[in-house]
Amino acid sequence: TKRIRLRSDSIIQDKELQEAAALLRQGEVVAFPTETVYGLGANALDSEACAKIYAVKGRPSDNPLIVHVAALDEAQQLVRVWPPQAEVCARNFWPGPLTLVLPKRAHIPEIVSGGLDTVAVRMPSHPVALALIEAAGCPLAAPSANISGKPSPTNAEHVWRDLKGKIPLLIDAGSCTVGLESTVLDLTGELPTILRPGGITLEQLRAVLGKVELDRSADQGQPTVEPRSPGMKYRHYAPEGEIILFSGSTSEKAEKMTKYLRNKNNAVRTAVLCLEETVARLTGDTAGKADMIFTLGSRNNLDSAASRLFEGLRLCDEQNIDTILAEEIAEEGIGLAFMNRLKKAAGKKNFGPGSRYPNLTET
């Protein structure tokens, strides 16, 4: 795997960007940055190229891909209908972390749509992503550039660890600013429905669309329904260790964690994954009993906490952590997507036989 570093202000002339675009036109896969997470891209209109994505990631073939575009008319050419709601969404949130599910046109390969009659489309805002799509001259199908089941990659090092040797090229443009994946919004039903919470919040969508539903399988509140977004049924974002969630006020969470750390078996490697206000309330001697403390930043800046979540989960794996003590945050604003990922990451306890969510598949 070749790794190239691009500065986002010099990309248009970059010879290496042209090299990446040429690989994509030849039917190869390329890992590239977006504002949400790194993507593993291929020409969305070339089913053999897209098949490579599934092979590299070890991804189940019924889990469809998001098609990334750099212009509005490019998005419109992928779909049979472009409803007024799509126009409103595109005008307000594109380029940006919002994916729209719409009826697909026939020329989109079945492998991209996972056999569904719809296609998921997004215009990313990262300048390198936009320049790459333009240079390639085709829409790019791209899932997150991680091995299936791992936390999504939010910097090039994460991609390198997962995919080194498996892909010809990785474009490194530093860390992703959003750090959680895009919101997936289904516009094929009566009401716009969030299938996966993400970088654009439910509140932001309601402000411009009026009524917006949250798919019951997306918030994990009603886990017995079959998810409409196929990817949501798989165990995801999961570190090796077991995650224990702590709820309540900042001081309640800190108190419960302190108690847990005091009584823990010292042979069990334990990490704390928390906001700094919570960490500050762990008493000195108890904090010392944790093998790792990963601070997500201040509770006054939850966007920043969201952008650091996957990094924290990956670091726990690197440090061979057995148990991760993580705090819950309110499920509003970006907190809805944050908690969706954190609960999924805690899936070992929550999914599978004998768990709270017996009907969801583990992969």
Query: In the complex, which residues of this chain contact ligand TXA (CB under 6 A)?
Result: 34, 36-37, 39, 63-66, 97, 99, 101, 113, 116, 118-120, 122, 124, 142-144, 181-182, 184, 195-196, 229-232
For the bound state, the minimum distance from the C-beta of residue 353 to ligand TXA, rounded and expressed in Å, comes to: 23
Of ligand TXA, Mg ion, none, which one sits near residue 133, judging by CB under 5 to 8 A according to partner kind?
A: none
Contacts of residue 138, Cβ cutoff 8 Å, sequence gap at least 6: 24, 25, 43, 44, 45, 46
Least Å distance, CB 148 to Mg ion, is 8
| Residue 235 CB-density burial (10 A; 0-12 exposed, 13-18 middle, 19+ buried) | buried
Distance CA(70)–CA(131), nearest Å, equals: 8
* Helix-then-strand count for the chain, H and E: 14, 15
**Out of ligand TXA, Mg ion, none, which partner does residue 217 contact, by CB within 5 to 8 A per kind?**
none
Amino acid occupying residue 95: P
CB of 143 to Mg ion, least distance (A): 5
What are the start-end ranges of the E strands in the chain?
A: 2-5, 30-32, 39-43, 66-68, 98-103, 118-122, 140-141, 169-172, 183-186, 193-196, 213-214, 242-246, 270-274, 292-295, 323-327
Residue 140 CA to residue 65 CA, distance in Å, equals 10
Closest CB to ligand TXA belongs to which residue? 231
118/144 with CB nearer Mg ion: 144
**149, two tokens:** 């089941």
From Mg ion, ligand TXA, none, interface partner of 220 (C-beta below 5 to 8 A by class): none
Count how many residues are written for the chain: 363
Judged by beta carbon, residue 6 or residue 66, the one nearer Mg ion is 66
Alpha carbon distance 347, 350 (integer Å): 5
Q: Which of residues 139-168 bind Mg ion (CB under 5 A)?
A: 144
> With respect to ligand TXA, which residue has the nearer C-beta, 133 or 254?
133
CB closer to ligand TXA out of 143 and 151: 143
What residues contact residue 22 under an 8 Å CB cut-off, 6+ apart?
Answer: none
Instruction: Give the bridge partners for 122, in sequence order.
Output: 68
Which CB atom, from 32 or from 82, has the smaller least distance to Mg ion? 32
CB 42 within 8 Å of CB 141? yes
Q: Least CB distance from residue 63 to ligand TXA, whole Å?
A: 5
Task: Select the binding partner of residue 182 from ligand TXA, Mg ion, none (C-beta < 5 to 8 A, by kind).
Answer: ligand TXA
Q: Which is nearer to ligand TXA, 196 or 253 (CB)?
A: 196
| Nearest residue (CB) to ligand TXA, 104 versus 281 | 104
Which of ligand TXA, Mg ion, none does 278 bind, CB closer than 5 to 8 A by kind? Answer: none
Considering the complex, what minimum distance in angstroms separates the CB of residue 253 from ligand TXA?
29
Which residue ranges make up the site for Mg ion (CB under 5 A)? 144
